[in-house]
Each structure stands twice: as structure tokens, then as C-alpha cells.
Chains A and B, each alone.
Chain A
Amino acid sequence: MVKERTIDPAVAEILEIAEAQGISTAFSRAEELKPCPIGHKGACCKLCGMGPCRLTKEGQRGICGATIDTIAARNLARMIAGGASAHSDHGRDMALTLLAAAEGKAPDYQIRDEKKLLEVAHLLGVKTQGRETMEIAKEVAEKSLAQFGQQQGEIIYLHRAPKKRQEIWRKLGIAPRGIDREVVDIMHRTHMGNDQWYESILMAGLRTALADGWGGSMLSTDITDILFGSPVPLMARANMGALSEDEVNIVVHGHEPVLSEMIVVAVNDPEMIEYAKSKGAKGINLSGICCTANETLMRQGVPTVGNFLSQELAMITGAIELMIVDIQCIMQALAPLTQQFHTLLVTTSPKAHVEGATHVEFDEHNALEIAKKIVKMGIDNFPNRRETHIPKQISHLIAGFSHEYINYALGGFYRGSFRPLNDAVIQGRLRGVAGVVGCNNARTCQDYSHDYVVRELIKNDVLVVMTGCGAIACAKSGLLSPEAAELAGPGLREICEAVGIPPVLHVGSCVDNTRILTTLSQMATEGGLGEDIADIPAVGFAPEWMSEKAISIGCYFVASGVYTIFGSESPVANSPIVDRFISEGWEKLVGGKLEFIPDPEETVRKALEHIDKKRAALGLVEYDPTRFGQSGDRLMRQFIEAMEAGLPVSPYSAKIPEPAKK
């Protein structure tokens, strides 16, 4: 039973305990509570007081006359708006933090990446010559904030896309005007009695998704890099083995790095460590869950305990003194668990209160002070710890791949470029590239689809970039370690060995999917792979999606020209017309398409077909893995071993003699 719920042995171990003790988890609730079969397929409209209208019969209409197509389109568009507003509001808070820091009102924050500040300033048209850093930062923050309330024209970040892509957006009228405006547009458009043509609704949906991907999310990533540093590779650990038996375990969970970065400072404060010791602990051990974990993992190497579906189980280990949550993907189920376990659940965002949790409102103006206060609460809770069950599982990974670093990795400071990456695709060492992102979903076996899809892709020489909970899934199964290159096809293995990278690159939290957009744009601009993102042999995946944010992400990838495959059934399945429009219809218009395919094997097959189709369209050589794999250290290792074994080898010959027969 448990094996069907997760492939993570640590999660399985705790699930056994939960089951034995009769503790309810998302896993057990998913079995007890089946999804509504009507809402699940997008056939339920509850937009007005005359409904909800459930269109279950062929040709049926709602009270107002709305067709199944309109209803499905409106539901999908509202999901996009929900996701876009979540990401973008997160971005707004980042910009407000930057503004406060620049104005000297948030003394605990500095500009850690000045180079990036200047680049962003250049993009936003902020003058930099002869100006103080903080002066530039202030204007960057103001310009970024202005993107939210802008009413006309188009958001500036669109300029980061290849020229041809920008033209497509303009031609279709889906270049976002302002971030907030597009979300409001969807909410208004989908109100009762408004836009009632599925095509029009869905194109507006794409515009809103773009306002997220090339707006709120992208500026969020940029500002986070400016404030906390652009990630560079570092070694880190993933899974429950990161919890400590004898230290105070503090776990950060949610999506924002603003507070967690301060928690990192606080737990390293010698005074705090001394205080922990005074309570009988050996020290303080910080780890993370979900995307707050990804943020601190990418920049500080803080280990991750697990992804979305691991949150309750981490608490069931009985080893966590305090879990600090900020925003998004926080299960209300955590609160009842604190009744059974000693863990303190601390909510910090005014936008995310949980009944039964302790609320300590975060305020960036005295961030460190609040962080210390929270950490101290955790330490004070240490003496209350009872029996613990900490699974031993731990995997090593390399995290911290920003597009800036990838550019550096491929040529160093002096010759950095995307040329080697493009060359690899052109020659067929890499069949293509894929972004595998998104959540966990209690309706499917945890991590299974992520793991399956990624293993198949790298075996087929597709370089994979990951974010969010998907990245944590594959980190736990070891695919984010450079040693995983051994699981890759011959061409990808050569690239991994040449650069020293894992075949799967962790590029950040879910808001950082924009790093993938930027990377794709740079590949398109580098030359040899067409002139638009849609020309690149690339696919996007969200195998275990569950949140509205994932839908928004998927749609901004589609609108950017990427074929994007979601696992599970289509949320618009009851409208074949809408289902076809978001696939074939969108592909004709924007080059990318959105498809929901529950079978992971089929997703991989369709992805590879698509990659090969794009390769053929570019006139690239047909993918043929047998041509590659001759480089690397293997032969040298054998040679050195033979030499050390005393065999008569010569540096002038790679032929290694068979050991003399006895």
C-alpha cells in the first residue's frame, strides 16, 4: 500500500508509522476523499448564485446558457490568474524588500550581487553611471513595482525574449500591459455574463501567464539574486536524514527567502548556539521543505528534508522543534499535528495564517530580531522533544545553477557563452533540453513520475533542468549528483564530464522557472538553433502538478513557444474543443502547446517525438547516440589502474594488455 504512495523510502518509513498510529496524512486522505468527477474535468461552473451548474450531458448549457467550452475555459483562466497572482505577489514583496533595503529601512538586508543589480538596471532603463548602489537599487525597486500597476504599453521584461517571440506576442495582442492589470482582467473577464468565447478567454489567460513568467516571477528571481546573491553551484544534502538526533531542528517551509535568509543568520549566531546548548542540544540544525528549502538550498546549501508531500511526515518524525512557514503550499493539516507532536508551527505572513499555529508576523524592517525570536522559540521547545523516528536516508546533490553560472560554466570568466550548449544540441550529443518542474500530487505516487520521466530523458541524452518540488524529488533519488552522469546517454555523459555537471540541473524554486525562460532565450540568441524559443528542441514537464501556480507556469511556457506536458487528467477534459484548442490551437498561434497526459511513458515518448521534430525542422543531424561517448576519464582510469597493477603499459599506447595468465 505504502509503496504505491511514494518511491521515497524515508517517506515510506514514516508513513508506516503514521498508519500504525492512525495519523491522518494527505496520503491517507487522498484515498478516503476521491476528487469530484465533475469539477475535476472542468465541467462545473460556480461563478454565480444561480449555480453551481454541472454540465454532465452532451450539449448541456448552464442557467445563463454558458457552454461547456466557456465554462472550461473560464475555470482554466481563473487557475492561471490564481497562480500568476501568487507568484507575482511574491515578486511584489521582494521588490518592497529591495526598496526598504535601498532606503535604509531594512538594515539587515544588503545588495549581495551588484553585477546583477547593474544588469537589471540596464534592462529597466535605470541610469547607473556615477550613482551610488543604493540609489540604483531604489530606482530598480520602484521601476519593478511600477510594473505591477502599469496600465498601458507592455511590461519591460518582455525585452529579454528573442525578438521574434516579442513580435509574436505583439501580433496576437498578448503582450502583458501590467502585471496586476492582467490578473484583474481575467477576474473581470470570467465574471458572470462577460467574455463567453473560449478562444478569447484562453488568449487572455496566456497574456496573464506571461505577466507572471516575464513579469512578476522574473523580477522576483532577479531581485532575490540582487538581495541574496545569484546562485553558484554548491554541494548540499536532501532527505530526512538531514534532521539531527541531538540538535535543535528548525525547518523553514513555504516560498520566500526573505525571512529564511535571516533564519540562516540567526541559527549561526554563536549566542543562539550557546543558548541551544544550555537547553541540552548540541547545536541548531536548519533544514527546509518545499521552495523556501529550494531558496536556501540554492544560495546557502541548507539541506532539504523533502518536498510538498513530505511536510506532514517531517513533523511525524517527532524531531522538529519548530517549523516556520511563510507563504504558499502550506497544508492546514500541519496545525492538528502539532497537537500530537511537540513541534511548534509558526506562521509569519499576514497573508498566510493557520488556525492553531503560533503567529509571529514578519516585518523586513527588523528582520533579524524577529528571526532570532523565532529561533529562540524553537530552542525553548527542545526539552519537550519525545520519541523520534528519523529516517537515515540522505542524498548528495549539486545545486545552485543560475543561467549566469551556466554561461560561466561553459567558458569561464573570459569566454563564457551558451555556444558549447548550442553546439552540443546541434551535433546531437544532446538530443534536446527539458525543464521538469512542479509539485507533488497526493493523487499519484509521490516522486515516481518525476523520477521516471527524468531518468528516461537523460538516458535519451536530453539535458534536464529542474525547479521546485520536482527538483527535490530527483535530488532525493540521487539524480542531481554529478555521478548520475553514468545514467545518462553517451552524448549527455560527455557533456557532463566536460563541464563537471550533473545531467539534471537544479535551477531554483518554482518562482525561478523564469531562469529557464532566460536560458532558452539566450540559447535562441546564441545562434544555430533558430531564432526563437519555439525553434529549440525543448519540452516542459509538470508530471505531478497540483497548484494553480503550476498551471500559470505551464501556460507561460506554452506562450513562450514550449511544448508543455502535464501529468494527470486534463482539467478541461469535458470540453474536447478547449482541450484541443490549448494543444493544437495554441501551437498554431504561439508555437507551444499544453497537454495533459496521465501515463508517464507516453509523456516521454511524445516529448522525444517533439524534440526530434524540432531537430528536423532546424535541419540538424538525426539523433544517433552511437556516434558519441568517446571522451572522458573512463579510459584514463583503466589505464592508471593497469599501471598501478604493474602491467606493462606505455603512455604511447591506449592498448591495455590482459593480465598475464597464471
Chain B
Amino acid sequence: MSRYIATAAIRGANRIVKEADDLFHKTLEELGPDKPIQFPNTAYYLPVILGFTGIEVAKVGDLGPVLEVAKSLLHPVPGEQTWLPYLGETLDCGVATLFAEEAIEGLRFARGEQPERIPGLQLTGTSFTSPDAGEGGNGGYANGPIDDIQLRSWGIQLVDGRMPGFAAIVGAAKSNQAAVQIIRELQQRNILIFLSGNVNGRSIIHQLMEEGVEMGYDTYIVPFGTDTISAIYALGFATRAALTFGGLKGGQFREILLYNKYRTFAFVLALGEVDDLKYATAAGAISYGFPAIADTVIPQILPTGVTTYEHVISMPFDDIEGKDDAEKARRLVQRCLEVRGVKVKITEVPIPVPYGSAFEGERVKRADMRIEFGGKNSRAFEYLKMSPLDEVEDGKIEVVGPGFENIEVGGYMDLGIVVEVAGRKMQEDFEPVLERQIHYFINGASGVQHIGQRDIAWIRISKAATDKGFNLEHFGKILHARFHSDFGTIVDKVQVTIITEPELYAKWLAEARKAYDFRNKRMAEMTDESVDTFYSCILCQSFAPNHVCVISPERLGLCGAYNWLDCKASHQINPTGPNQPIVKGECIDPVKGYFTGVNEYAKQASHGTVEQVSMYSIMENPMTACGCFECIMMLIPEANGFMVVSREDPSMTPTGMTFSTLAGMAGGGLQTPGVMGIGKYFLVSKKFIRADGGFKRIVWMSSFLKESLAEELKAVCEREGDPDLLDKIADERVATTVEELLPFLEEKGHPALTMPPLF
């Protein structure tokens, strides 16, 4: 601290706690103590309050004791002379501020005043099937708290380092140019960006709106609101990360805060003048180990300890060296990363537009589109094959056929991308693993959008990108750079051919399809019995320290991102990395899927918390979960079966819990018989809960799964000898309670009802 900051922060804390208390009493009077308080689509109540105090705030009246705790943490401002110490006191006031801010936001939700209305703000959605969907929908609101689905889907990126951390930006930048550049710099480094606060009424959210910067989950930019209070959602996110992935419980404040200090690389970037409330909020953030950096003149706090590096840095914007605001902004962001010790791996991709994972989710709307390949009007395919070393010329990028210069704006054409790779450690089995990366690699370019894979790829390039000079050759540049940087240990040479010439297109498409077909058959043949080695995935141990995924050919990782081949390739790339071979050892029980090697590994890698793992049962020693699962399964005893809810599904399930609430039971590396997190493709595996009766035990399933896996599930039903089984499985449209579920199952004659009892 400095006495100046301590004075401001303590003053701010006293004021905001008073404000929260006033709003609490007003709301109590107007809405009564039983009015529910909830952040929509999130578990963990008001998460910061839960994390620090263990108090579960579910209704207005619950806030009374919380505000009493907040008041007990307040202190008077330090004196002008012979002042008393203030660091611990200021940090406590910071925490009181967080309680007050979260209480206020909770009350505002109860009062229907959150999320904040911001006219004209359109947020990009979450997952989508077409970039044209949802346009002109209901916008005009800030994001408010991040929902659990998004938190979990970012989980894997946070743990594997693709997303190094988050920046909580508060205020407004000195200029719009600076605002955009700061955001772009952070995006290029794949740092999640949370926006809140204002300076004299003007927020960086307004600045980005004016500059046409797309905000929303898909672009890693989340506008919480234009006041400082909404910055609490950033700390709520951090707390929930610790609760979700760290297996921590409410009230374990020390562990939660240290979890964030050591694992979440986040910082506060205060743009523009810093007022009392901003200082108070930053003091709260410091308890999480998150330092604050300001672009104005403020006192610096350079000694370390509560944070890993400096606590508060002042970097007055005009004093930063640089020819323009953009260059200054770049230096500012670099300093932020140093202060938090953020490790960023940047691959230089030689293309004329910004590049980074943060641009992966960017969509190109029809109106902004220069050209598309694939989709409704044309076709696009991509194919990666390995070739002998002497047949591949590294760095050769060839465009065969015409470019899109002569196609009208908004038009389309056919496109083939053929990638030939060579390397001494390359194996044919890695071809699909690498090929699937094309999607992520191409999507990383700002203004380019990629959907699908193989021969259903769909690529759009925006006008903004082509204006900057983006052309077909740049696809090759991207792929060459990224395959080398990400897969350099197995790939020595990369050669890319971009094909628009119809004859060659047809020839390569045919060859590609032959390969797709061959790979499908090879995958289908690959069974757990056909290999002697499974793979571990302990990538998430950075977040969930005791969790171990065991990945076999017939059981992919619960995040859906890693199958057995991915792990095998990953192990080749990084032999000491998170994917280690597990020699199966002796099969103790083929039905439940017990293997001596798996048990030994799980016990050691879970640090003794897991003694045994059954690969094919949910009822006995099920596999643990980190928190990144695509679906959660849970026993419904009354129906003698299980339900599967996907993370895309926010509705109530017959267990009486939503995905978010269930996730709290399923995650954190603990074995809970009857509850399990899974990757959605495990549903179609022959080994899917084989010990418990297999797919026939599924009595309820999110409609999202039924639809997105329609073809595959149909095949499963046929394999199980009950072709109409899918129709017998309920979903949220017909049943959200056990009372609704049972008559449905009986009416449809669901096989689970007549199967042997589960326990």
C-alpha cells in the first residue's frame, strides 16, 4: 500500500458498504426477505461471498449477516501524522468492498436492474451453427456474470495455457485508438478481457462499440457493465474457477485466494483516473494475488508478497515511449504481463491481420463478408497427409487456380486445402489429429472464420481482412507457421497447396474422401482390447490437482478435446507432458473395466485420493472429473437408469438440479458413485457404462445431445437392438421432474424399467 492509496481505498470501502447496506434495507422493505437472489445460470450463489464466508446467499434476507461481516472488516482512514499501519486494514477493506459490490449486484438482479442496459450493445453468442443466426436478436445489455457453461468451456483453455489469464479492465482508455489497441494486444495473446467501469461516464465499452469491436464470449471480450461495481464479476469468475476446478468449498478463503495467486494469471488494468471505489476494488483484487496497473499517475507499490510480483504499477500513458497511442498501448500491455508473470507463447504468423486464439470465436456476418468457401452455395474441403521427407518442400505454398479477386463482394467459390507434412516421428495415425487443428489455426486470424472439418468445411473472409491484403496464400502461411510451432517435434516439413482449379480440386477431393473413409474404419476397429497402452491426461491438474483422466480408444477425455490418438500424438510431441502412456497391465474385470496398470497410475497421479478406477462403470469407482466435462451423467434411482445433461443445456433436470449445480458435485477430482462427467462422444462407445447396462440405461438426455449427435445415436440404438430407443428417452421438453419422467418412460416402454436393479 501507500498511505495515499490506503486512504482512498478505505474511504471507498466505507462508502460502498454503506451504499450496499442502504440498498439492502430498501430492498428488504420493498421486496421482502424471501425474494430470491441469484446470478442466472451460475452455481455457487454469490460466489465471492460464498468463497470468503461460506454463506449461501439465496434470498434478500441472507445478505444481512454478510453485510455485518463487511462492516466488521472496515477501518478508519490512516491519520496525517503518526499513522497506524494500514496494509492489512486496507486489504480487509478491499474484501469488504467486494462483499458490498457483490451484494449490490445480487440485489440489483432481485430488483430486475441487472444486467445493465447498454443501448446498441450486441454480444456474440456462445456456440452457434451458423454465423448468420441470431443477428438482430435481443441485445442492448451488458453481459453480467459469466455463465457456468462458458466458465467450463474456457476451463480447458485456461489449463492448457491457450488462455494465459484474464485482464479486468476498469475505466476508459485515453483514446479510442488506445482502447482498441489494448484490446487487440490482449486478444493476440489470448487473454480473456473483462470490461467494467467508466471515467466521467465514459467506459471502454462505449469506446469499443464506437470502433465496431465485436464483444462477447466468442471474442474473449466480456463487458460486465459501465460501473466499477460490475468488476465484481471478474472476481466472481476467479472464485468460481477455484471452486469448480480446484475442488474447493465455500469458506476455504485462504485456499481459494492462493489458488488464484498461483494459478490464475489475472491483473487489473485501470484506465483513466482512479477514484476511491476503484482503489477499494483493486485492494480486494490484491487479496487474490492480482496486481493493478494504471495508465495514469498513481503511487506505486513495488514490494511483493501478497501478489507474486509488484502490487501496484503506475505507467502514465503519455510517458510511455512510442510514436502513437497504438504503440504505447502495446508497451502498456507488455508491462501488465510482466507484472503478473503471464507466460505467453506467441507464434509469429506472417499475415496482414491480427492473429491469436481470441479471434477463434469471431464470426463474419454476411454483411461484412468478402467471400465464403463452403456453406450453402459452394464446397470446401481440407486434407492433411503425411508424405516421405524428400517429397515435401518445407514452406512451399502454392495457390492452384484463380484467386477471389474477380468474385463479386459477398460471393463464393470452391476451395481445397491440402497440407502435406513430413517428419521422422510422424505417423499415419496422427494425420486426423493434425488435420483437426486446421480449424483452430485458420480461425485464429482476425476477420477469418472457419466452421466444420474435412469436406464440410466452411470458411469466410471479411471485407476488413481482405482490405488489409488477406488472400488465399495466407491460409498456407498460417498453417505452415502453426504446424511448426505447435507440432515441431513430430513435423519437420510442411507444404500447403490451396486449390481452386476445378479439375485438381476434384482429384484431391476424391483422394481426401478415400482417406476419410479409411480413417473412419480404422477408428471403428480400434478398441480397448486392441491396444496395450492407454494414455493419461493430467493437463487439468494445474487446476484440479487430484484429477486424472484415463483415455482409451473407446473412451475419450471428458472435455471432448482429447481422444486416444490425440494423447498418443501429444505424448510424442512432449514426452514429459501431461499425456503419459499407461500400460494397461492385467485386466482384472473386463466388464467393469479394471486394469492393474490403470489403478496403479490413478492412485499415484491422484496423490492417493483415488484407489481404483473402473473404465466402464458409473456405479463403482467411476472416473473423476476436473470440471471441464461436456456432459454430466447422474443416477435417477426411481427410473433405474441415468440421465445425461449437456453443458449447453441450462434447463432443470429430473434430478432437481441444473447442469451448473450438478457440476459442483461432479468436479474437483472426487469419486462419487452415480455421478460422472463425460465427453459426449463417449455416449456412442460400445464401452459406455457397459458394466451398468450400457446406453439402454439412459432415460433422460438433453435435447441438444439428441440433435447434435442424431446420426451417431441412431446407430447406437440399432447396435443395442432397439432402433426406436432414442424416442423412448425423455428430454427437458417432456420432463424436468421425476414425476413427469416416470409416466413418460412407462408409456414409451423404456427398457431400463425392466432391467435388473442398479443397486
Query: Would B3 and A414 count as touching, CB distance under 8 A?
Result: no
Query: Would A635 and B306 count as touching, CB distance under 8 A?
Result: no
Main secondary structure on chain B at its contact with chain A? loop
Which residues between 345 and 373 of chain B lie within 8 Å of chain A, taking CB atoms? none
Indicate with 1 or 0, residue by residue over A389-405, a CB within 8 angstroms of chain B CB atoms: 00000001110000000
Query: Would A233 and B87 count as touching, CB distance under 8 A?
Result: no
| In the complex, A235 has a CB within 8 A of chain B | yes
A653 vs B294: C-alpha distance in the bound complex, in angstroms?
12
A413 vs B94: C-alpha distance in the bound complex, in angstroms?
11
A413/B85 contact (C-beta < 8 A), A420-B306, A630-B302 known = no
Query: Would B273 and A651 count as touching, CB distance under 8 A?
Result: yes
Most buried by B among A233, A397, A482, A494: A482
Residues of B near A500 (CB, < 8 A) are 1, 3, 6, 78, 83-87
A32 vs B317: C-alpha distance in the bound complex, in angstroms?
70
Indicate with 1 or 0, residue by residue over B31-55, a CB within 8 angstroms of chain A CB atoms: 0000000000000000000001000
Instruction: Please name the residue on chain B nearest to A419 by beta carbon.
Output: B305
Query: Would B85 and A414 count as touching, CB distance under 8 A?
Result: no
Query: Would A636 and B88 count as touching, CB distance under 8 A?
Result: no
Instruction: Please name the residue on chain A nearest to B95 by beta carbon.
Output: A414
| In the complex, A39 has a CB within 8 A of chain B | no
**Closest CB of chain B to A259's CB: distance in Å?**
28
Instruction: Please name the residue on chain B nearest to A497 by beta carbon.
Output: B2
A652/B88 contact (C-beta < 8 A), A412-B95, A495-B303 known = no
Instruction: Please name the residue on chain B nearest to A628 by beta carbon.
Output: B302
Query: Would B295 and A652 count as touching, CB distance under 8 A?
Result: yes
Query: Would A411 and B318 count as touching, CB distance under 8 A?
Result: no
| In the complex, B585 has a CB within 8 A of chain A | no
| In the complex, B89 has a CB within 8 A of chain A | yes
| In the complex, B210 has a CB within 8 A of chain A | no
| In the complex, A57 has a CB within 8 A of chain B | no
A412 vs B94: C-alpha distance in the bound complex, in angstroms?
10
Query: Would B316 and A415 count as touching, CB distance under 8 A?
Result: no
A233 touches which one: B1, B85, B254 (CB < 8 A)? B85
B88 touches which one: A397, A411, A633, A635 (CB < 8 A)? A411
Query: Would A412 and B316 count as touching, CB distance under 8 A?
Result: no
A302 vs B734: C-alpha distance in the bound complex, in angstroms?
75
Residues of A near B463 (CB, < 8 A) are none
B316 touches which one: A234, A422, A651 (CB < 8 A)? A651
Query: Would A410 and B88 count as touching, CB distance under 8 A?
Result: yes
| In the complex, B257 has a CB within 8 A of chain A | yes
| In the complex, B92 has a CB within 8 A of chain A | yes
How many residues of chain A have a CB within 8 Å of chain B?
49
Residues of B near A501 (CB, < 8 A) are 85
Instruction: Please name the residue on chain A nearest to B78 by beta carbon.
Output: A500
A178 vs B254: C-alpha distance in the bound complex, in angstroms?
37
A396 touches which one: B81, B296, B319 (CB < 8 A)? B81
| In the complex, A13 has a CB within 8 A of chain B | no
**Closest CB of chain B to A237's CB: distance in Å?**
10
**Closest CB of chain A to B307's CB: distance in Å?**
9
| In the complex, B166 has a CB within 8 A of chain A | no
Most buried by B among A396, A412, A628, A654: A412
B3 touches which one: A427, A429, A497 (CB < 8 A)? A497
Query: Would B91 and A412 count as touching, CB distance under 8 A?
Result: yes
Query: Would B82 and A411 count as touching, CB distance under 8 A?
Result: no
A652 touches which one: B85, B253, B296, B306 (CB < 8 A)? B296
A637 vs B92: C-alpha distance in the bound complex, in angstroms?
25
Residues of A near B82 (CB, < 8 A) are 235, 396-398, 481-483
A651 vs B296: C-alpha distance in the bound complex, in angstroms?
5
Instruction: Please name the residue on chain B nearest to A411 by beta carbon.
Output: B306
A414/B318 contact (C-beta < 8 A), A499-B1, A631-B303 known = no
| In the complex, B299 has a CB within 8 A of chain A | yes
Query: Would A409 and B303 count as touching, CB distance under 8 A?
Result: no
Query: Would B319 and A655 count as touching, CB distance under 8 A?
Result: yes
Residues of B near A633 (CB, < 8 A) are 2-4, 299
Query: Would A631 and B91 count as touching, CB distance under 8 A?
Result: no
| In the complex, A424 has a CB within 8 A of chain B | yes
Query: Would A420 and B73 count as touching, CB distance under 8 A?
Result: no
Residues of A near B52 (CB, < 8 A) are 414
A498/B88 contact (C-beta < 8 A), A483-B82, A636-B297, A653-B319 known = no
| In the complex, A361 has a CB within 8 A of chain B | no
Indicate with 1 or 0, residue by residue over B283-301, a CB within 8 angstroms of chain A CB atoms: 0000100000001111111
Query: Would A415 and B299 count as touching, CB distance under 8 A?
Result: no
A636 touches which one: B95, B299, B302 (CB < 8 A)? B299
**Closest CB of chain A to B193's CB: distance in Å?**
21
User: Can you pick out 25 interface pairs between chain A and chain B where the beta carbons lie within 8 Å of each other?
Assistant: A396-B82, A398-B83, A410-B88, A411-B87, A411-B91, A411-B306, A412-B94, A414-B92, A415-B91, A419-B306, A422-B305, A423-B303, A423-B305, A498-B301, A498-B302, A500-B1, A500-B86, A500-B87, A631-B302, A633-B4, A633-B299, A651-B272, A652-B319, A653-B297, A654-B316
7 more contacts with CB within 8 A, not counting A398-B82, A415-B254, are A411-B91, A411-B287, A414-B253, A420-B304, A424-B303, A628-B302, A632-B2
